Structure 1
Amino acid sequence: MKITLVMAGDEEGGLEKHVVELAHGLQQHDHNVTVIAHEKYHDRLHTNFIAVDLSKSRRNPFVLYQLYKAIKGSSADIVHVHGNKAAAMVASVMSFVQVHTVATLHSRKKNTKMFKNYEAVITVSPNAAEVLDHPNKVVILNGIDLPKALPSIAKHQPPVVLTIGRLVPVKGFDILIEAWKEISGAELWIVGDGFEQEKLQSLIASHQLQNQIKLLGHRTDIYQLLQQASLFVMSSHYEGCPYTMVEALLCKVPMISTAVGAMTMVLPEKYLCPPNDVQALHRLIEQTLQNLPEVQQDFESVFQFAEQHLVLDGMIDNTVKVYQSLLSA
């Protein structure tokens, strides 16, 4: 098939990672792939690429005309758009292009009206699917290539609880730091950068937790850090299907999380707590750290699920089935 992927904006997050990996996976499965996106992503995409700056206003007539020309010129069988903004922009020009259309909703959103005219909509979590009123919607969890085998190393002592994400409010790291008060015998490592760094550092200092909580900044050795961790934690207010969850489970690191996004589908209920609840998160962290051998046993079936369903080939196969259903219809 000739498949054109469209993403708007110029950020760095799960959506952008998803599009890059989907493009390469589709190409490895012998499909002809074109990506329409901001120029900044050109170097990391080894596919056909058309640069259009969709970070500008979704109503900008010049940008919309460029988008129309790019889609028309790609001669696609399927146009697959990612995220609300891209869905809105492509929807405004799709009547001028006779092509099958698919959209992916990457997280739970209040406004999903821009998806109504797409032939099929993929969501990356059951939570996102709940709010979407569409007759042809399907949940496909994110997947990655299995991590390469790394030299075996001992778990860090004292035990490390690891979390990874942009330092922004939605990740709930302020709630996590508050919940860490009176947690003993373990360290919390927070990996990532963002505009909340100073605020979080001040919060750590105000609770005198500098010896227990470390802000590690941006890191490129994620798998090595996961090897050292005894537990992964996610404190987000909302999520889709975060790649950090996928990476942790494929590295066989047990995980606790707020009950958001794909975690409600993948993790055992006893390892979930309500979002934005300091006391509930504190209790979950404390109880889990006290029973790490039992936790590891509880997660054996979760790790097996991850190896079957949270890998790139599975994600590609399920996405291609959606494309084929439209073409055969």
Structure 2
Amino acid sequence: MKKKTIVFICEALGGGVRKHLLDLLENLDQSKFNITVIHGTKRMDTVFTNRIINMDNIKFYPIESMEREINPIKDLVSFIRVFNLLKLIKPDIVHCHSTKAGVLGRFTAKMLKVKCIVYTPHGYIVQNPNINKVKDLIFTNIERVLARGFTSRIIHVSKGEEEFSISKNICKRKKSKVIYNGISIIQEDEKYTAEKIFKIVSIARLDYQKNPMESIKIIEELINEFPNIRYTYIGDGEYYNEVVNYVNNNKLSDVIKLPGFSDSPSMFLRDADLFLSSSLYEGLPYSLIEAMAFKLPIVCSKVTGHTELVVDDFNGNLYELHNLDVAIRKIRDIINNPEKQKKMSTNSYCHYTNNFTINKMIKEHEELYLEV
């Protein structure tokens, strides 16, 4: 069988999108595919740069002008660069990740009559519950036009994301395929211990989407009742200094730790007792999948992406966004019930191994690439 040539186009190379792309690059069967990556540099983290060093069989083309913000001059430069590269490479498949790459990549690929154009949004911008009506209208219509005329298949990373797309009339069901994010299976010993310190952890960027102050305020309320709680929020971002100042000004630094970005989050998950997320919206967050792999109960906001990872009273609990009282009550219930914590821990791991492994994710991507 002749190898297919795939070009991945990605502007953002940090967090979950970076992990998703690296998993594809490291695990796709290279006896079936020739792989090239066209990528931005502004949001590229050290994990990406370190991991691609030894990928000798994959070609990488950085484009410095490709960035998240709308900039007519830089966007035109990026468009010309992507166009020329695709014209040179002549791919069978172009797979675009996230909004900016999705616009540039799909438009240029269509102009060059690429047979298969795939798009993974990793969470639509218009899933943001606080987006204003004008932006919602503009971005929804851009996604609709591109989905209908410039896209062969859209890979949604959760059923909730797919249903959102269909409800907004962005995508027809026949053009969509749900492929869950996955990670390598982790062999963990029994999670529950009877330590007096109860460790809660979050792993996310400190930015608008991840809504970090909500998690901080949940912990702030809980420590009045449970002085044995210790909380670690791993990540950096535009809100980092604001959150640090809040923690220091409210004398919470003995309880709440903000170590910044870590390329080894497993060291924090391994020692934790519970995972907390207060995101405003998600695609299908890797951090929660990793928490499940480390047998953690999870308490998180009831938003798209979370609801397919956490089942109420099975492997954790969901709370309505901004309802801190419910979140606090759910965490209190887990702390006060060691047997419930232990059961949720076991269920998290089972839910992960049944649905969110890297082998399943790669197999489904390869099947899609070969069928279109």
- What fraction of aligned residue pairs are identical, expressed as a percent? 22
Equivalent residue number for residue 125 of structure 2: 109
Q: Does 1:92 align with 2:107?
A: yes
CA distance in 1, matches of 2:97, 2:254: 41
Equivalent residue number for residue 73 of structure 1: 88
CA distance in 2, matches of 1:5, 1:156: 49
Aligned positions of 1:182-197 closer than 5 A: 182-183=221-222, 184=226, 185-197=228-240
CA distance in 1, matches of 2:65, 2:364: 27
Equivalent residue number for residue 157 of structure 2: 124
CA distance in 2, matches of 1:23, 1:235: 30
Equivalent residue number for residue 16 of structure 2: 14
User: Equivalent residue of 2:94, what SS?
Assistant: strand
- Tell me which of 9, 24, 27 is aligned to 2:26: 24
Aligned positions of 1:271-286 closer than 5 A: 271-286=317-332
Cα 1:318–1:202 shift into 2, 3 Å: same
Aligned positions of 1:75-224 closer than 5 A: 75-93=90-108, 94-110=110-126, 111=140, 112-113=143-144, 114-116=146-148, 117-132=150-165, 133-135=170-172, 136-147=175-186, 157-183=196-222, 184=226, 185-224=228-267
User: Equivalent residue of 2:6, what SS?
Assistant: strand
Cα 1:29–1:234 shift into 2, 3 Å: farther
TM-score under structure 2 length normalisation? 0.79
User: Equivalent residue of 2:254, what SS?
Assistant: coil
Cα 1:119–1:10 shift into 2, 3 Å: closer
Equivalent residue number for residue 294 of structure 2: 251
Q: Deviations over 1:43-64 (max 9, x none)?
A: 5331222233352457533321
Q: Deviations over 1:265-315 (max 9, x none)?
A: 121124001122222222222222222321321343331231232121111
Q: What's the offset of the Cα at 1:78?
A: 1.4
Cα 1:198–1:38 shift into 2, 3 Å: closer
Aligned partner letter, 1:72: K
TM-score under structure 1 length normalisation? 0.88
Q: What's the offset of the Cα at 1:227?
A: 1.4
Unaligned runs of 5+ in 1: none
Q: Deviations over 1:91-137 (max 9, x none)?
A: 32222233211110101332232333311101112232123232211
> Would the aligned equivalents of 2:200 and 2:232 in 1 still touch at CA under 8 Å?
yes
Q: Deviations over 1:188-222 (max 9, x none)?
A: 11111223222212322444333322222223442
- Tell me which of 33, 49, 56 is aligned to 2:60: 49
Aligned partner letter, 2:274: L
- Tell me which of 300, 304, 316 is aligned to 1:261: 304
User: Equivalent residue of 2:295, what SS?
Assistant: coil
Aligned partner letter, 1:143: G
Q: What's the offset of the Cα at 1:316?
A: 0.8
Q: Kindly tell me the number of residue pairs found equivalent between the two proteins.
A: 326
Q: Deviations over 1:155-184 (max 9, x none)?
A: 864010111111213222211121223421
Unaligned runs of 5+ in 2: 127-139
CA distance in 2, matches of 1:296, 1:101: 45
Q: Does 1:308 align with 2:354?
A: yes
User: Equivalent residue of 1:264, what SS?
Assistant: coil
Cα 1:262–1:215 shift into 2, 3 Å: same
Cα 1:7–1:98 shift into 2, 3 Å: closer
Equivalent residue number for residue 135 of structure 2: none
Equivalent residue number for residue 136 of structure 2: none
Aligned positions of 1:26-41 closer than 5 A: 26-27=28-29, 30-38=32-40
> Would the aligned equivalents of 2:123 and 2:283 in 1 still touch at CA under 8 Å?
yes
